[in-house]
Amino acid sequence: MPEIKREVRPIEVNYVCDTCGQGMMVRSGEMDPVSGDIEHRCLICNHLQSFQWREYPRIVHIGLDEDI
């Protein structure tokens, strides 16, 4: 199948802490190879939370004609 190209723009995706509602979650551990869990901690209150197969912050790319 031939290659196709299109212009995209980067979007940063963050997760706001469920505990304090203000701090951003950042990765604080390695991914568990069995469950896929990745531990994160809040930059303000240090709350720990795991996300399965997701890392924050992260960058995603969307087409120029797509909405956020």
Distance (Å, whole) CA 62 – CA 46: 31
Asked if residue 44 is part of any domain, the answer here is: yes
Neighbours of 26 (CB within 10 A): 14
pTM, two decimals, is 0.82
Asked if residue 65 is part of any domain, the answer here is: no
Asked if residue 2 is part of any domain, the answer here is: no
Distance (Å, whole) CA 58 – CA 15: 10
User: How distant is the alpha carbon of residue 13 from its chain centre?
Assistant: 5
pLDDT tens digits, residue range 27-66?
A: 999 999 999 999 999 999 999 999 999 999 999 999 998 8
Question: What domain range includes position 33?
Answer: 16-58
Asked if residue 10 is part of any domain, the answer here is: no
The pLDDT confidence band at residue 67, using thresholds 50, 70 and 90, is: confident
Asked if residue 1 is part of any domain, the answer here is: no
- Count how many domains the chain has: 1
Asked if residue 22 is part of any domain, the answer here is: yes
Residues in the chain: 68
Asked if residue 53 is part of any domain, the answer here is: yes
